[in-house]
Structure 1
Amino acid sequence: MALFSRRKKSGDDAVTPASDAPVEAAASDQAQPTETVEPPVAAPSIGISVQAFRGMGAEAGPAVTLPDADEKPSPAAPVQAPPAAAAPANEAREITSPKLPFAPGLPPEQTESVPGMKDNVLLREALQQVEKGATNEELLGVMRQALQGHLYIRVNGDARAQISEGKPLAVAVVRDDERQFMLAFSSAAAVRDSVKLEADPAATSAVAQPSTSVMQQVVQGDFAGLIIDNASAPHRVVFPTELLQKTLEQADTEMVVKAIVAAPREQDSASKVGEALTRTRMWVAVNGGNDDGQVGIAEAQTTDGKRFLQLFSHPLEVIALGRGDRPLPFEPEQLAKVLAGHPEMAGVVVDPAGPTMIVERDALAPVVELATAADTTAEAAPEG
């Protein structure tokens, strides 16, 4: 297994490559967290406020309605119409600004900073925009991208051997007095940069795990938080456990829809989203309210007048738009009812803050069928 070599570190060669040997990924299905680690480098203190992330979404709320066709919808991120009739219906449209907390509409191309080990490109690019004294909005943008894909964990010793022997992984952490922080990385290159800072690095490997799984390990373990790309200052972040726990409480564990939208576009990407929406809770953005307690759902319009319901994979996606909207959970049955009751609705736009995807009505047929099935069941139910 390819491991990092040992070398002594001086003040002049702290960032000199320890070895050209790549860090090798091990299968992660059997990975377990452990607190047995050696402290690498001095830990940064948590420098973010979690206040901006509180109240990310209600678990219940009032009834929601769509505005009539002649009413002005709630403010929305601009969506460009297809440039030509031949353009793919599922082609994502660029949002106005890629600056954090926003991201480009189309996902970036997949890269491997170490051959054979895929980077979490969206997270890596978000971290590149982070500087010292990052704002809550910027950190929110990093957290959004951290929810999708995978993270690498540094392991002291041979990760593959530890997994095969059924042992907990000896993951690397940073200690700060009585606190300890789990380390995670957006790429294998970021892992290698972290090892270079060791005064006497042990043989080190890396394992890739789903991002939400890594966050869950932090929440369930004796950790004060999670440091991502610790050797990449100022392009690193520290997320406290409290924030991770709140984020996970309102997340789809597998982030099914977000994963499809964040992946390179394929011919059936829109159909995959449509199918996933039949079993995945999403979120809508609501603002204001009427005397009867109903509120309107935010939607977007293309330049040719088509109306699209805005859907969000996580409450943070709503907050990132900065419109003051409130995230409200939206079950598949609710989405089906809205689509069935508003045939003029052209489809949905998922995660407008980017990466985003327009899913037109034909790809949402499985969702609409939920409403038809519900009506049939209601009609067949005996009275009384």
Structure 2
Amino acid sequence: MALFSRRKKSADDAVPVTEPASVDDDATAAAADAVDETPEAAADVAPEAEAAAPSVGISVQAFRGVGADAGPEVALPTEQESARPAAAPKPPSSAPTTPAAPVKRSLPLAAALPPEQTETVPGMKDNVLLREALAELAEGATNEQLLGVLRQALQGHLYLRVSGDAREQISEGKPLSIAVVRDEDRSFLLAFSNAASVRDSVQRETDPTATSAVAQPVTSVIQQVISGGFTGMILDNASGAHRAVFPTEVLQKALDQADENLTIKTLLAGPREADTAARVGEALAATKAWVAVNDGSGSGQVGIAEAQTPDGKRFLQLFSHPLEVVALGRGDRPMPFAPEQLAKVLSTHPEMAGVLVDAAGPSIIVERDALAPVLVLAVDLGD
């Protein structure tokens, strides 16, 4: 639990949270002296240029309608109808070939593999995917980029600023006094992708007082925004153009369509282990996923998007949240897909090698042998 020297600013207040939240000891067990802050260092930081209330930088309309209810049964597309990009033409045999340089994927996309876990303050784990997504934001960020940040926020933990010692408040059964930004009748909960961002926020203020940082699951933080009657949530408020503001209505929609434990997204955000694919397969047998519905070649025949590897293997595209479909920018419609539906598709299409989960990244291919917990559902149904 890190304690920071805070200089309080009139626009920031602390409000109690009615239910003390549990502390992630692995993420928050940092000593108070882990942050070396002197009065001189704090004085060198320019005053935060956000006296006015933050503008809400995302259109609610952009997220409305995402994830429609399940419609009629859809057919698995044929190879011609699948929603994968066309293969690039091969160079003439006489032309020299050079390895293609890796292409960096930018918001709302991300790399296929999760980034390395880091701690910008020793002992306090960063939400690296969210931190990196926020770092890509610039002035005039598009709705698509902001939704890309939101989808990366839907895994792992966020840090909250607490006035006083959060560990002490929790041990005494007191509600946490969490920092917010107020502007007349609007209020925004402050949340952070890493402990260094909490420190940066603290350095922007006046009147020294103790402030601590506590890590909470992202679902818990969003629930506090909703139940607390906040206007929205600000991520990394001291990061200038790299901060993001999300209205409560958008957060409510995102949470309603998410798996309660964010199991699949959390697995994909973590380091790849030998059993990661098997664990994703187990989660798919117990958790609703989403598919990308498209109209194929424009003939009106509805199908589900698939992907194909260079060696010709075909994989059904699955998604942990409708925002993962939107991030691809293909115009596909997200549709919920129950484990039993997945089992039926895989059992009736043995040519499918498995599934590709969250193609926008981080992503993973889960082959049929790791999907045994799903396939057994088809046997149970008599398919």
Give TM-score scaled by structure 1 length. 0.82
Residue type of the alignment partner of 1:47: G
Change (3 A) 1:96 1:346: farther
Distance 1:290 1:188 in 2: 48
**Structure 1 residue 48 displacement after superposition:** 2.2
Percent of aligned pairs sharing the same letter: 70
Q: Which residue of 2 aligns with 1:27?
A: 23
Structure 1 residues 83-94: aligned runs within 5 Å: none
Distance (Å, rounded) in 2 between the aligned partners of 1:124 and 1:299: 30
Query: 2:315–2:355: 8 Å Cα contact kept in structure 1?
Result: yes
Alpha-carbon distance in 1 for matches of 2:179, 2:195: 14
The one of 166, 178, 196 equivalent to 1:159 is: 166
Partner of 1:66: 76
Alpha carbons of structure 1 residues 257 and 162: separation in structure 2 relative to 1, 3 Å: same
Contact 1:285/1:328, CA 8 A, preserved across alignment: yes
How far is the alpha carbon of 1:231 from its aligned partner? Answer: 0.4
With over 3 angstroms needed to count, the CA separation of the structure-2 counterparts of 1:173 and 1:152, relative to structure 1, is same
Segments of structure 1 that go 5 or more residues without pairing to the other structure are: 10-24, 30-39, 80-93, 377-384
Deviations 1:279-320 (A, max 9, x none): 0000000012899x9721000000111100000000000011
Partner of residue 273 from structure 2, selected from 260, 263, 266: 266
With over 3 angstroms needed to count, the CA separation of the structure-2 counterparts of 1:97 and 1:353, relative to structure 1, is farther
How far off its partner does 1:8 sit? Answer: 8.6
Deviation at 1:95, TM superposition (A): 9.3
Return the offset for 1:170. Answer: 0.5
Residue 253, structure 1, aligned to residue 250, structure 2: no
1:5 counterpart = 2:5: yes
Aligned to 1:48: 58
Report matched runs for 1:74-113 at 5 Å.
Answer: 74-76=82-84, 97-113=104-120
| 8 Å contact from structure 2 (residues 77, 296) kept in 1 | no
Query: What is the CA distance between 1:163 and its match in structure 2?
Result: 0.9
Residues 77 and 349 (structure 1), Cα distance of their counterparts in 2 relative to 1, 3 Å cut? farther
| Preserved CA contact (<8 Å) 2:83 2:296 | no
User: What TM-score do the two structures reach when normalised by structure 2?
Assistant: 0.82
* Paired residues of 1:78 and 1:300 also in contact (CA < 8 A): no
Give 1:195 deviation, angstroms. Answer: 0.4
What aligned pairs does 1:283-322 form with structure 2 within 5 A after superposition? 283-288=290-295, 295-322=302-329
Aligned counterparts of 2:339 and 2:205: Cα–Cα separation in 1: 49
Q: Does 1:193 align with 2:200?
A: yes
Q: Distance in 2 between matches of 1:7 and 1:182?
A: 18
Cα distance in 2 between the residues matched to 1:251 and 1:172:
26
CA-atom RMSD in angstroms? 2.6
Of residues 218, 226, 234, the one that matches 1:211 is 218
**Letter matched to residue 72 of structure 1:** Q
CA distance in 1, matches of 2:241, 2:362: 24
Opposite residue 186 of structure 2, the aligned amino acid is: R
The alpha-carbon deviation at position 60 of structure 1 amounts to 2.1
After TM superposition, the structure 1 = structure 2 runs for residues 353-368 of structure 1, keeping only pairs within 5 Å, are 353-368=360-375
How far did residue 260 of structure 1 move? 0.6
SS at match of 2:111: coil
Matched with 1:137 is 144
Per-residue CA deviation, residues 197-216 of structure 1 (Å, 9 max, x unaligned), is: 11114210111011121111
1:44, CA displacement in angstroms? 1.5
Is 1:57 aligned to 2:67, yes or no?
yes
* Whole-angstrom CA distance in 1 between matches of 2:174 and 2:86: 50
How many residue pairs match? The answer is 336
SS where residue 174 of structure 1 aligns? strand
Instruction: Could you list the structure 1 runs, at least 4 aligned residues long, displaced by more than 6 angstroms after superposition.
Output: none
Aligned with residue 242 of structure 1, among 249, 262, 277: 249
